[in-house]
Amino acid sequence: MKYSKNFYQIKSNETIFDSMKDEISEIGYYSLPFQDISDIKSFASKVKQKYIAIIGIGGSSLGTRAIYDFLRHSNNYEKSLHFFETTDPIILNSNIKDLDLDDTFFIVISKSGSTIETISNFKYLDSLVTIDKSNCAMITEENSKLYNYANNHKIKTFIIPKNVGGRFSVFSAVGLLPLAIVGVNIENILNGCKKLHNSFFNQEEYYEPIMQKARFFVENKHRFNINVLFSYSSLLESFNKWYIQLWGESLGKININGTKQALTPIGLIGPIDQHSFLQLIVEGKRDKTVTFIKVNNFADTTKVPNTLEEIKGLEYIDGLEFSSLLEEQANSTIQAIEEQQDIPCDVITIRAVDEYNIAKLMYAYQILTSVIGQFLQINTYDQPGVEYGKIILKDKLSKDIIL
Amino acid sequence: MKYSKNFYQIKSNETIFDSMKDEISEIGYYSLPFQDISDIKSFASKVKQKYIAIIGIGGSSLGTRAIYDFLRHSNNYEKSLHFFETTDPIILNSNIKDLDLDDTFFIVISKSGSTIETISNFKYLDSLVTIDKSNCAMITEENSKLYNYANNHKIKTFIIPKNVGGRFSVFSAVGLLPLAIVGVNIENILNGCKKLHNSFFNQEEYYEPIMQKARFFVENKHRFNINVLFSYSSLLESFNKWYIQLWGESLGKININGTKQALTPIGLIGPIDQHSFLQLIVEGKRDKTVTFIKVNNFADTTKVPNTLEEIKGLEYIDGLEFSSLLEEQANSTIQAIEEQQDIPCDVITIRAVDEYNIAKLMYAYQILTSVIGQFLQINTYDQPGVEYGKIILKDKLSKDIIL
């Protein structure tokens, strides 16, 4: 009898860091902070249309949306972004009503160039208004069907490098082009990424927190199989959705030992979800870690007025800035969770509502995801589990054609 | 030595059904389908303002939003609902920009009458425009601070009965008043509720599916501690949020045996989240049940055009109605999940995008939640876990005043 097995074990931080350094040359997103963005900026500055329609789904829209929704309420952009993500017919037609199609610039984004939702939306919009090189750009992989279509029609194309996965593509043209068109400062976005990148790979400020967090999540993945991100600003609602894709699609994998992995992301918004999900965190089973995100400075001094004295019992909020109230609500919830003493909890504070800070946060989450993937010994960058449904769909619909 | 203990056990379906019948007289939401709505309808018909601002959070807004967002895209309502839910200053000011304050009717909703988010928003809006009986109604518990304020100012008040909890209040004036004002047929809403109510309590069509589902979830709560609701229409995004509150806040409890409970809700939207969370369901740890919701008839015939032949490989979607494409995407994902054979999965199909069907779905989820609560032997209707954070907040802010 012969038996040999190398059971999966959690590696040392040093080994993981070495693997991370090896990834830099293989995985494309690490290079994006240092890319040349002159072509994006120059093209963006020439777009005159008021409405910018982004036709894309998943990694082709979530990251752009995260940054845009974080910034748009406190910036008076003259242009607006509109997202065509779904095959839901009622939403498709409703979204079109928000546009003046003759004053719309279309950005078609699909890495593979054959995403069903994207192509069907593109075809439909193209049947309503002529879409050509005067009002369209495409972002796709080299030699995809969309790439060839764009070339044939002389439509400007931006390339998604093969080694940049959809959910890691926000800092490529996928995110930077629409954001630059709308007026976002994309240099500051890349500066935020660079800061985080260098800090981690030079083992400075952000190195230890990321390594420790990743290690804790992996060592306790069976006990705490749910990771809650509790963001204390509605500006971060789309960021939460981007996080859910990044986390779920990167870490929901079978590992080197054949074991299905366990980390499940949940996004919450404070204080709204204090009135929804918080009860479950406090009194439910201890199966969750909780990460709070706070915004340090909203640059907004709106105050709760000292009025309506007849409504007694809430005098302590009178005259308070809403931003202080929000911060104290976050602090109180954090304290209530910490005092339970059996809910793992950490707090990220971002300094301001600007390009630099949201980019830093997102790049930090990308690196955290990569580190956890290394610890789990999975392929962080593929998504084999979603292919089977696509094959069934093609099979179903192709049969319909024959019948 | 003496030792005695009655360990917690899962009761029989018959015992649970008897307890459910006993709840009818105690718990207010069971009576709502049979309430007299003439006062709501008559008041609603007199509101002339174009913009309807709902100042409320959690149970005071989520249910209304679920129904409104389901219906509004395919109905040309002349009025629009606007939700003031948060203390986030940037969102508060951004929401105000969507209104003409002089043409706005304000509905202030707080069961306790002292919800901080609601009172602070009300105070702020009242500082910008006079809010009185000409442009305001209030919905609250009898004798609350808000109730007394409304009475003193002769503002019309609708009562939330003491035994109707916030997350079970959508079919009270909380939901019905704003929906009636905007033009939703609230009789059909109550008809949907009645249908479900009678079917369950007469042990007809919907009795067995609800009992079986509840029992399965409870018996397997430690293995499958996450319940995913995968809704195949963006129209159901707000319904998902309502479900998360209902499930999380009702079932996240310590039970009669002192054990913290384990069911955690997650809401997904198809096909968008095929490009995000699906990978985790298919290849991640088997800790999730998945419930699919499909819409049978969108009453929309928008087709994918037979154009752009140069984009090869997707001919099978040409000429297809978007609603059929969406349905086949749902069916393909369902089949892919079912073929895994170790992911518990069920499918709910709703017939049409109308008042009757969304109400039936929501009432079914309320009853399901109540049945699971009975099985778990918890108090489904309170939320003690959120009080502690509120006390800390009051303490923090009151100290600030003294300093």
Please tell me whether residues B147 and B192 are part of one structural domain: no
Q: Mark which of A184, A216, A246 sits at the end of a domain.
A: A184
Of A74, A266, A401, nearest to B90 by CB-CB distance is A74
Residue B138, pLDDT above cutoff 70: yes
Residue A402, pLDDT above cutoff 60: no
Domain count, chain B: 2
Please tell me whether residues B59 and B204 are part of one structural domain: no
Residue B4, pLDDT above cutoff 80: no
Task: Enumerate the residues of chain A whose CB falls inside 8 A of the CB of residue B388.
Answer: 282, 336, 339
The share of chain B scoring above pLDDT 90, in percent, equals 91
Question: Per-residue pLDDT tens for B359-386?
Answer: 999 999 999 999 999 999 999 999 999 9
Please tell me whether residues A332 and A363 are part of one structural domain: yes
The model's confidence at residue A6, banded by pLDDT at 50, 70 and 90, is low
**Residue B21 tokens, joined:** 């019948």
The model's confidence at residue B403, banded by pLDDT at 50, 70 and 90, is very low
Closest residue, chain B, to A329 (C-alpha): B393
Interface predicted TM-score (ipTM) of this complex, two decimals = 0.96
Question: Per-residue pLDDT tens for A111-136?
Answer: 999 999 999 999 999 999 999 999 99
Residue A347, pLDDT above cutoff 60: yes
Are A59 and B275 within 8 A, CB to CB? yes
Chain B, window 288-307: residues with a beta carbon less than 8 angstroms from a chain A beta carbon: 288, 298, 300, 302, 304-305, 307
Of B117, B226, B385, nearest to A279 by CB-CB distance is B385
Mean pLDDT, chain A, as a whole number? 95
Structural domain contains residue B152: yes
Q: What are phi and psi of B229, to 5 degrees?
A: -110, 115
pLDDT at B313: 82
Q: Is A322 on the interface with B (CB under 8 A)?
A: yes
Structural domain contains residue A387: no
Q: How confident is the model over B146-153, as a mean pLDDT?
A: 96
Are A386 and B332 within 8 A, CB to CB? no
Question: Per-residue pLDDT tens for B312-332?
Answer: 888 899 999 999 999 999 999
Question: Per-residue pLDDT tens for A271-284?
Answer: 999 999 999 999 99
Are A305 and B123 within 8 A, CB to CB? yes
By the 8 A CB rule, do B337 and B283 touch?
A: no
Chain A, window 250-279: residues with a beta carbon less than 8 angstroms from a chain B beta carbon: 251-254, 260-264, 266, 269, 271-272, 274-279
Structural domain contains residue A351: yes
Q: Mark which of B139, B165, B184 sits at the end of a domain.
A: B184
Q: Mark which of B158, B184, B210 sits at the end of a domain.
A: B184
Q: How confident is the model over A354-380, as a mean pLDDT?
A: 97
Residue B235, pLDDT above cutoff 90: yes
What CATH number does residue B129 fall under?
3.40.50.10490
Are B388 and A339 within 8 A, CB to CB? yes
Angstrom distance (rounded) from CA B327 to CA A337: 42
Structural domain contains residue A313: yes
Residue A41, pLDDT above cutoff 60: yes
Please tell me whether residues B224 and B368 are part of one structural domain: yes
The model's confidence at residue B278, banded by pLDDT at 50, 70 and 90, is very high
What distance in Å separates residue A277's CA from the closest CA in chain B? Answer: 5
Q: How confident is the model over B89-105, as a mean pLDDT?
A: 97
pLDDT at A403: 42
Q: Which domain does B280 fall in, by range?
A: 188-376
The model's confidence at residue B311, banded by pLDDT at 50, 70 and 90, is confident
**Residue A400 tokens, joined:** 């319909």
Q: What are phi and psi of A224, to 5 degrees?
A: -110, 85
Question: Per-residue pLDDT tens for B285-294?
Answer: 999 999 999 9
Which runs of consecutive H residues, i.e. helices, occur in B163-277? Answer: 173-182, 186-201, 207-219, 237-251
Please tell me whether residues B64 and B162 are part of one structural domain: yes
The sheet that has B104-110: what strands, in order across it? B80-84, B51-55, B104-110, B136-140, B156-159
pLDDT at A52: 98
Of B120, B145, B283, nearest to A313 by CB-CB distance is B145
Please tell me whether residues A140 and A243 are part of one structural domain: no
Please tell me whether residues A110 and A178 are part of one structural domain: yes
Please tell me whether residues A218 and A255 are part of one structural domain: yes
pLDDT at B77: 97
Lowest mean pLDDT among A306-310, B40-44, B175-179: A306-310
Structural domain contains residue B330: yes
Task: Enumerate the residues of chain B whose CB falls inside 8 A of the CB of residue A353.
Answer: 90
The model's confidence at residue B402, banded by pLDDT at 50, 70 and 90, is very low
Closest residue, chain A, to B316 (C-alpha): A398
Please tell me whether residues A165 and A254 are part of one structural domain: no
Structural domain contains residue B140: yes
Angstrom distance (rounded) from CA A146 to CA A157: 9
Identify residue A147 by its one-letter amino acid code. Y
Please tell me whether residues B192 and B180 are part of one structural domain: no
The model's confidence at residue A311, banded by pLDDT at 50, 70 and 90, is confident
Structural domain contains residue B79: yes
Please tell me whether residues B225 and B180 are part of one structural domain: no
Mean pLDDT, chain B, as a whole number? 95
Measured between alpha carbons, how far is residue B224 from residues A131, A267, A342, B227, B289 in Å?
Answer: 48, 19, 21, 7, 6
pLDDT at B401: 53
pLDDT at B6: 64
Please tell me whether residues A120 and A244 are part of one structural domain: no
Residue A401, pLDDT above cutoff 70: no
Task: Enumerate the residues of chain A whose CB falls inside 8 A of the CB of residue B262.
Answer: 284-285, 287
Structural domain contains residue B20: no
The share of chain A scoring above pLDDT 90, in percent, equals 91
